[in-house]
Structure 1
Amino acid sequence: MDNNNLEQVTFGGGCFWCVESCFNMLKGVHSAISGYSGGHKDNPTYEEVCTGETGHAEVVQITFDPKIISYEQLMEVFFFLHDPTQLNRQGNDIGTQYRSVIYYKDEAEKAKAEEALKKSEASGKWPGTYVTEITQFDKFWPAEQYHQGYYNENPTQPYCSAVVGPKIQKFKKHFGELGMLNEA
């Protein structure tokens, strides 16, 4: 991978353990880091974010090589991994920290995000009104180290076996068929 041409994008689509695990499997993704964005407190902790009082969302910051995987393909994965019609929640995970959000860095990226959202809505995959926010990127705070690669380190933890594992299997089946996954 050519590190000089890497780009970054930051998404929030529910629990970052699910999102990070899947994005790290994609060809062209250099890294997917769990963290927090969109709030008003510097260096928030997981416990603070979980209160809903800091305004942060659980997010994943993805560093990728656009020569291998496009922004549009990343958006396709993003909208596959979570239900963008659920306001401030994903399944049983409830709170503003689980909101559906795309952070953009400039007007060109904002336009791409808006186009991807329209394309996903038109697909009919998620019936209902999309509530995904498209918001100006400000800061990204990496989550605590124990959150990084959490599923890989804790696959038998109850939440991981019940929620993350099945989501990863569905993801692997779909995107493996499209040839977008790294060889395991």
Structure 2
Amino acid sequence: MKRLYSFLLLSLVLLSYACTDASSRQAQNAPATLPSETELKAAGLATATFASGCFWCTEAIFERVQGVDKVISGYSGGKEKKPTYEQVSYGKTGHAEAVQVYYNPKVITYPELVEIFFATHDPTTLNRQGPDVGRQYRSAIFYRTETEKQQAEEQVKKLEAARKYKNRIVTEIQPYTAFWPAEGYHQDYYQHHPDDSYIVNVSAPKVHKFEKEFKHKLKHQYQKTGS
């Protein structure tokens, strides 16, 4: 009888943990919520969408920029609706890991964001950034207006004229169609997982390089801490 009671008690405890874990996983897997056009208009914010490899690093970089209000990691450039991280990471959707940048154009301009975009990844490697290989890690700018397209193209011409890179820039400049926010656990991943081996070895060096080269564009808190 004592053993039976112990077994039932253990089963209830395990069931409780299982339910808690399932609830936690469900919350973590839920996609982030995008701000509405009404909210953006009220806040005086514009939107830009970029893909430059793993979105953990790209998100962390743009979050440090003066005039940027919010950055959301997600997927863009493909036809699949509501893609999951697993689908995108296996290259099944045509989407790239991307970020949606919500910024105040009175503080920082679109061309300045494009400049930061090019300066913080290698735009000459086709479908690859560092250890990440595949179309889902391609370099891409998703423009919303003809003006944005022209500004992006002008930056490419400027960089190539200055021979900034040894190889040709292969960044795709294509019209924006849709952006699907990534699962909750991907948002602010750099901040929440500083000891993750990928963050330590791949993302952090890029973020620190950006902080050093763009001190004049860093938010105040990052100018002080440099972290």
In which range does the TM-score fall when normalised by the shorter chain? over 0.9
Deviation at 1:126, TM superposition (A): 2.0
SS at match of 2:122: coil
Larger Rg: 2
> For residue 7 of structure 2, what is the aligned residue in structure 1?
none
Amino acid at match of 1:150: Y
Query: 1:10, 1:62 within 8 Å by CA — same for their partners in 2?
Result: yes
- Work out the CA distance in 2 between the residues paired with 1:23 and 1:118: 23
Match of 1:35 among 63, 69, 74: 74
Unaligned runs of 5+ in 1: none
> For residue 161 of structure 2, what is the aligned residue in structure 1?
122
> Does 2:202 match 1:163?
yes
- Work out the CA distance in 2 between the residues paired with 1:63 and 1:126: 29
> For residue 180 of structure 1, what is the aligned residue in structure 2?
217
Amino acid at match of 2:185: Y
SS at match of 1:33: strand
> For residue 61 of structure 2, what is the aligned residue in structure 1?
22
Deviation at 1:3, TM superposition (A): 4.7
Deviation at 1:29, TM superposition (A): 0.2
Aligned length, in residue pairs:
182
The RMSD of aligned alpha carbons is: 1.4
Match of 1:82 among 97, 121, 130: 121
Deviation at 1:125, TM superposition (A): 2.6
> For residue 108 of structure 1, what is the aligned residue in structure 2?
147
> Does 2:170 match 1:142?
no
Q: Percent identity?
A: 51
Query: 1:15, 1:98 within 8 Å by CA — same for their partners in 2?
Result: yes
Query: 1:76, 1:120 within 8 Å by CA — same for their partners in 2?
Result: no
> Does 2:94 match 1:55?
yes
- Work out the CA distance in 2 between the residues paired with 1:145 and 1:88: 25
Question: What CA deviation, in whole Å up to 9, does each residue of 1:54-91 have, x standing for no partner?
Answer: 00000011011111001111011100111000000001
Unaligned runs of 5+ in 2: 1-40, 222-227
SS at match of 1:117: helix
Larger proportion of strand = 1
Deviation at 1:162, TM superposition (A): 0.2
Larger proportion of helix = 2
- Give me the TM-score of the superposition, normalised by structure 2: 0.77
